[in-house]
Structure 1
C-alpha cells in the first residue's frame, strides 16, 4: 500500500514521534509511506526528528503550512495557499490511503477523496480539539483512548461504526529492558544522583499543562521519607525555579534537558504523570514497559493504561492529597513497588507494543480499501 500522512508540522510532541514509529513499522512491512507537512518548527530537537523521517525511508512532501504560531487569519491563509500545491502533490504520490494526523489539515484529504472517490482516516491525538472551519469528518476516525472515542461521537458526530480504538504503541526492543543494579548505579553516578535514595521521576514538557506544579507541591507535603525527584524535559526555567524555591525542594530535585529517556527510566523507582490534560500519555506506557510502578492523573488514557491498585495508581486530577498519598505508599514499600512494576511491565508489553498498533492499523487500511 501507499500511505500518505498529513500533519501541519513536525514538533517534539507525541504526535510527531507517533507518526515516525508507525511509518517505520509500515515501511518495514513493505508499504510506501509519505509525510506531507510544513516541515519542522524552529527547534533543534524538532529539526533532528524531522530528519529521521527522511533517514527512515519516508517520502518527504513539504507544503506551505505555517509552522510558527500566528494569528488565525494568517494561519487560514496558509491553508488556502497550500490547497492547490497540496492537491497537486497528493495526485503525484497517488496514495491508496490518506491518514490525517492534524484534523485541521483534513480539508485537503476531504477534497482529494471527493474528487477521486477514495477514502481517508483521521487519528485524533487529543481531546478538546477546537472546531475549525477547515476540519472535515473522515470516513473513519481513530481514537487513541476510550475518552476520546466518546468525544468523537458526542462532539463531532461520528457514529460508533466509523471509530476504531487503536492505542498508541511503543517499541518493545527499546523499552522492555531490565537493567542490572550495576548499570543503574553507573547511570546514577554519571548523573550525580544519590545511590541509596528512591528516585521519583517525570519525563515530558515542564509546564502547567503537564502538572509539574501539582507534582512538586504534592512532593513538598511528603515528610519523613527520604527520596529524590528527577525531572527530564524542557520548559520555562524561571517558572520552574520559582516553584522549586516556593516548595523548598532545591536540595531534593535534579532537572535535566530532554534526551533519550531510557537511561532515566532505568533508574526511576516511581514514575508520575500529573497532567491536567493528555492525549494518551505515551510516557506512562514507556515507564510501565520498563517495569516502573506509575501514578497518573485521571485524564485521557489513564483508565486504558492503568488498573488502579493493581499495576499502578490513578489519582483525581489536581488532588494533591491523593497524589502525595500514593507517592508515599510506593516510596515506603519496596515489595509493592516491585510487584506493581512487574504487573505494569507485563500489561504494557501485551497491550501497548508498536507491533500490535501497526497490525491493527494495517487491518483498518485493508477494511477501508475493500
Structure 2
C-alpha cells in the first residue's frame, strides 16, 4: 500500500534467481509477464501484484496487468500500476453470474485479450483471479504461451461447474499450506503441480517506526500517545470480523481499559459497524479513517486484530509483523504458516471476542511480553516473508515452466 520507484535492469539470467549458478546455456531469456485479474480493488491481491511486479521489474522483467479496472474508492487503480512501470490493459472480464451482460463481456474480453497479446507479447501469463483462468487457457491454446495461477483464498466455490471452468496452468501457486490442500482436495490438482510461495512485503518500507514516526502516525489518526491501540485493516465486510473486535472493545471497557480501535478500509458495512459500536457503548473508541496507507495505521498500533472468518494468507499480518506490531488472528488460512502462538503473535478461536480482549489486555499490561513478541514477529517476518524471497521463488516457477515449454 505504498509507492515505490525501482530501477530496471535489462538482462535476467537464471543465475540471479537460484542458489547455485548454472551453465550459461541455460540462460533465462523471457522478459515479459502478463498478470490477469478480474478487478483492481483495495485488497491484498492487488497490493501483492504490485509488490511482485516491482520485484520483477527490478530484475529486468517487463510486467503488464490485464483487468477490468478499479472497483471501489482507493488509489490502487490502473494509473497506480502505470506510474510504476507496469502497463495496464483494460479488459471487461465478466463476473460469475449468468446474464446477457456477462455474455457480452466475455466476448468483448476475448477480443481485448487478443489485442493485449498482440501488443505486449507475453512470454508467460500469471493468473491472480480464478475466473480469468479460461482466458489464460485460451491464450495457451491459441498462442502456445504457458501460464501459471495463484490461489489467493481458501474456500472459493468448487462445485462441478466451478471445477469445469477452472484452469490452473503448468503450476499452481498456493500462498499457504491450507490453500495448497484446498487446491488438491477441492479441484483435483496433483500435488506435484502445486508450489507454496508465501506472499511477501517490502521490508525496507514495512519496518518498526521511530518515536517521532509513531507520534506522527497517532496524530494523523487522532489518537493520544498513551492510548492502547488495536487496528483492523481490511475491507469493511462480514468476512473480516469487525463485529468481533467491537465486542472485544466492550469487554475491555468493562475491565476499565478504554482501548482505541482503528478500522481502516472501505466496504459496504461502515454504517452498520458505526451503529454497532455506538449500541455497544464504544462508539467514541472506534476510528474509521477509510482507505489509508496501512503502514501509517500500523505505526500507530500496539497490536493488529484479524478475527477473520476466511482468509488466504492475510498479507496485512506480515506487514504488521515487519513493523513489530503483534498480530492477533483466527486460525483461518495462513495462520499456521505465519504464527507460532504466543511466540511471534497469537491465534484465537473464531468468533471469540473474549479471547481477543484477554490477549490484548495481557499485551498492554505486560511490557516484557509485548517487547519480546514484537521482536520475534519482526525477525520471523523478515526471515520468511520478504519481497525478495517471494520474487525469487516466483521466478524459479516461471523458469521451470518455460524450460519445459521450450524443450530445454
Aligned equivalents of 1:142, 1:73: Cα separation in 2: 33
Is it true that 1:55 corresponds to 2:87 in the alignment? Answer: no
Aligned residue in 1 for 2:184: 153
**Matching of residues 279-358 of structure 1 within 5 Å:** 279-358=312-391
Aligned equivalents of 2:157, 2:319: Cα separation in 1: 29
Aligned residue in 2 for 1:4: 34
Is it true that 1:22 corresponds to 2:52 in the alignment? Answer: yes
TM-score of the pair, normalised by structure 1: 0.93
- Residues 233-289 of structure 1 deviation map (CA, whole Å, 9 limit, x = unaligned): 223332012111221112333331221122221121111111111121111111111
**Matching of residues 160-239 of structure 1 within 5 Å:** 160-180=191-211, 182-222=212-252, 223-235=255-267, 236-239=269-272
Q: CA deviation at 1:158?
A: 0.8
Give the paired residue count. Answer: 366
Distance 1:115 1:308, change over 3 A: same
Aligned equivalents of 2:343, 2:328: Cα separation in 1: 11
Contact 1:176 1:349 in 2 (8 A): no
Contact 1:5 1:99 in 2 (8 A): yes
Aligned equivalents of 1:321, 1:345: Cα separation in 2: 26
Aligned equivalents of 1:157, 1:176: Cα separation in 2: 40
Match of 1:45 among 74, 82, 89: 74
- CA RMSD in angstroms comes to 2.0
SS at match of 1:317: coil
- Residues 65-111 of structure 1 deviation map (CA, whole Å, 9 limit, x = unaligned): 258x9655533441233223313432442211111111111111112
SS at match of 1:251: helix
Contact 1:288 1:348 in 2 (8 A): yes
Contact 2:173 2:194 in 1 (8 A): yes
Match of 1:273 among 297, 306, 309: 306
Aligned residue in 2 for 1:93: 120
Moved more, 342-351 or 58-67: 58-67
Contact 2:277 2:283 in 1 (8 A): yes
Q: CA deviation at 1:353?
A: 0.9
Aligned equivalents of 1:152, 1:306: Cα separation in 2: 22
Aligned equivalents of 2:89, 2:217: Cα separation in 1: 40
Q: CA deviation at 1:20?
A: 1.3
Aligned residue in 2 for 1:127: 154
Contact 1:221 1:324 in 2 (8 A): yes
Aligned residue in 1 for 2:170: 139
Moved more, 186-195 or 10-19: 186-195
Contact 1:225 1:332 in 2 (8 A): no
Gaps of 5+ in 2: 1-30, 404-408
SS at match of 1:141: strand
Distance 1:59 1:231, change over 3 A: closer
Distance 1:258 1:155, change over 3 A: same
TM-score of the pair, normalised by structure 2: 0.84
Moved more, 200-209 or 111-120: 111-120
SS at match of 1:175: coil
Gaps of 5+ in 1: none
